[in-house]
Every structure is written in C-alpha cells, then in structure tokens.
Structure 1
C-alpha cells in the first residue's frame, strides 16, 4: 500500500484522512502546513501528497510548486483537498502541478477511490 502525506492545518481533516485511508492499508504522514509538508516529503518519500490550499506559513500552491522542483518527487501525484471550488484556483493548482482536486467536505468512499486510482493500490 501507499505512504500518503496529508498536509492540512486542520487536525480534524488529517484525522479523517487517517480514518479513511488507514484501514485500507495506507500509511499516513501528517503535516500541519506547507513548510512542514515539504520537510516531511523530503524525509518520508510519499507515494501521494494530499494538501489543503489555505494554510499558514506556506499555502498548498507554494508547496506544490516547490515539490515539483525536487527530482525525487516530480512524479508523485498531488491531490488538492480544499473548500475552494473556484475554477480559477483549480487552474492555478493544475498549473502548479496538482494531479487532482476534491472539495471538502469529502465523501470517504470518494477519497478512497481517488487515492486507490492515483497510487494504483
């Protein structure tokens, strides 16, 4: 199964991701903002990154742009999980290197299906 880096300033969202993906066999690494996510991505070699957009210290877009410059992580899928549903923001995320987008609140089965597809697990 996959190692998933969950980057969100909301502990309850990170816990929800663990509750949904953990029983499916995925290992979850938690980070509370983009800077923390970058540090953990460097040391944890995730198979997938799930990130929020709006976070303190470093937002999701900035984190994605930086992740995409790191050779070891260029091919790692990145899934945006955000309350934002604006098309312009989605286009910015795609341009930055995001693979997909799920709007919060999410359905557990939707998250599991997308993660399974992106990690082929």
Structure 2
C-alpha cells in the first residue's frame, strides 16, 4: 500500500511541477499583460494544489497534513484574489487588453 501512495504522491508532485513550468512558459509566450497574468495565476494555483496534495500523501495523517491543508486553503483564496486586484489596478492605471484586431493591425506589413 505504501508503494501505491508513494507513486500517487510523486505523480501529483510531478503534475504540479509540469503546471508550474507551463505557467512560466505562458508568461514568456503570451502577448499582453492580462493573458500573461491569466497564464501565471491559473497554473500557479493548479500547480500549488497538486504539489501540496502530493506532499499530504507523503506526510500521511499527521499534524503536517493539517498545516498543509491550511496553507492550501489560504493560497486558494489569496492567489485568485491577488490576481483580480492586480488586473483591476492595471485597468485603472490605463493598461488596456490587446484585442484581436489590434494584433492584426500591428503584424500586417504595410506597402
């Protein structure tokens, strides 16, 4: 049974790491502030949840697991809230989302 739990925890840890790497790539590849922020926030929350779930399986039913649950709940609440506040502040500051017709206009070669 412990080998099965170990394998499941390593799968969760690896999945969380993959989500985090994809988020980092998304930050580099996305065209504007809002899509970069979206890529970072979604993959950050998913990667964190998977990694903490893997750590909970490794820890078993102990006080460490309870602390990890509190950390997960705190991060699940604060990460989207911080992303929302950052997006509202950027919009208030005048950073506008890049629309499809804006992107086409800048990429077309004019004669």
TM-score strictly above 0.5:
no
Query: Higher strand fraction: Structure 1 or Structure 2?
Result: 1
Question: What is the TM-score with the length of structure 2 in the denominator?
Answer: 0.31
User: In proportion to residue count, which structure has more helix?
Assistant: 2
From the CA coordinates, give the structure whose radius of gyration is larger. Answer: 2
Structure with the bigger RCO (C-alpha within 8 Å, sep 6+) is 2
